[in-house]
Structure 1
């Protein structure tokens, strides 16, 4: 396998303007049809004939899966390219399509970005190639998030159902006997940790992470973003949305949680030394924490994320992505063949699981061997059982904006400043909403 790690440096903030210019203002779901034509013969012929494919991903978890594909199809040469992470890649993708040069065949797309890219006709609908019938092979939530309008634009790959990682040493020292099962219990645990360990807090809330707050609102029943065709609703005044925002405002105002950016060296040190006792995040994080905080082996355990109603646990997702065939691919049939094999072949899925990916595929979540795997880092815990249960409780109805990449880029201007300043998260969210409504109107959406 030939690996290329090119980095294309582009600016993210202007992405939505460029995307909208290529496709917005036309129809509902952009290019693509919900037809379920059977083009399997074309796909098989392309795989047999062989050729070259370029796959864009910033993750290093897929090298072995791609190698397994090339072993089965030696006539296909797959080049893996790192074109930048997240928004940087999407900007590079737009630039490539606009120029007609260096267009990848397949690209990793985060769920929050898919509506924007599908609307601007940058992705090919899998329904046109007969892959729409694979829905039951994936978790319901992940499949929904690869769909925009009446078409599906790729296959899910990984998901991030909310879970909570907690430091058993901190809990024991603070007298927190069990991981909090509800957000009410979580607040009580936060009070106890601050009282018994004045230099520690139960968690931090990242003032720059729109996805973190989105996940908490989703889990709490809020649905601030809705869209159908060119009609968009942005509303942070719903009862469940306000409930979540007011909860975190209260914790911030009482100094029970820290307002600290995530993923910095300081943040990792805080998790490692017990200054932060928990991390509520996506299921993908197990590999991140075990590979980063190597000296903390045995300290952490995995628990379900706290819920609002213990009798009716509803969950959400944080992060996750799929792979899509890009409009302008030199060989769409071959790209579709790779996409299907890479997403569902047992050798490919096993390689991805071994690399630490949390699956969007349904089969592993029901596999007794995978479920019973013991994680030495987490004290021998069979953590996959917690993750699978969390995945099964993800609630329906969440949508991202068809300009979510832009929305995330300006989150810190309103909500982030409220968090950092100890102000009202709800007030910040409403200011964010005003900005997003104004932006959507400027792009030609019918915004309410």
Structure 2
């Protein structure tokens, strides 16, 4: 193979959201940047995001919408490159967009607009983007320069930005390269796991869940994160969908980022409603109704039938003790289920965990003990909620690393 020493000041591994942002930022600040990706096209994960429309940011982004062993780590980068900054970029490129839900911004046409925009930004910084380059080896020489060997040649630079993402969606080429490189250079890795992913259940639960497949209901799920003084809880109120294997929908995807194997899942089927008062009210107003009829006023028919069969005696409401209805109300407000697992990286939108933030500078994403090595985006132990937050982290972390690389020179 031919060795290429074109005088690059930085090599970016990964032509995804964080990598292209880092490259464009560094290139436009004067750095000579090379981007390498093993995929045949740049931005493959961007293209499928948001149903093909790319939920490219969330205007409500703040550190509280991210999971990390260090909840403060993301503050610096997020503060220095905000959703408004990215929206300004989108506007400069005349990309039409809309707000689909509170704070969630999507392209009007296609996610291709975002990829094309990033490619134009890279071109403006004279960034050399090379796809279909399989990484064979990465090393750091005695002089502190990085050597990247590919199946198309070997490249050198004093700075290396690792933006190869996590393990989610392997059909798009996701690998554990970022984690492998982190360990090779002595950086700790917080155990990765699928996040923003449907939950699955064991055969016994699936037996009664399968008849509900396709059913959607708005629920509330309270999740817990952190320990001690950093402990906090957050409640997601959104849609939940029954599948043939378990549960999905926005509320479940959000909860999956917090869920750990062996934990139970408490689901409020009537969020915002005082279930006991409502059931007693229905009993008073419709004493001759049966249990299924009562629950059908609050839940989809199939779910109402299942709950009535499991928790209500036969007969009219007039003959049911208030204590029975109070017990049912407790079930509806805190339906406890035991997930068996998740659908895994195949269906996970992102990867939880990653490069330990204690090993990185929160200002510029550079490894504290390995000068010139930067980790950005999904590779890092910073995982956002559903709704554009992970893209904003990609933009912010990539921008921080890109600025730092340009300042280092080389």
Task: Give the TM-score category using the shorter length.
Answer: under 0.3
Please state which structure has a larger fraction of its residues in helix: 1
Structure with the bigger percentage of strand: 2
Structure number, greater radius of gyration: 2
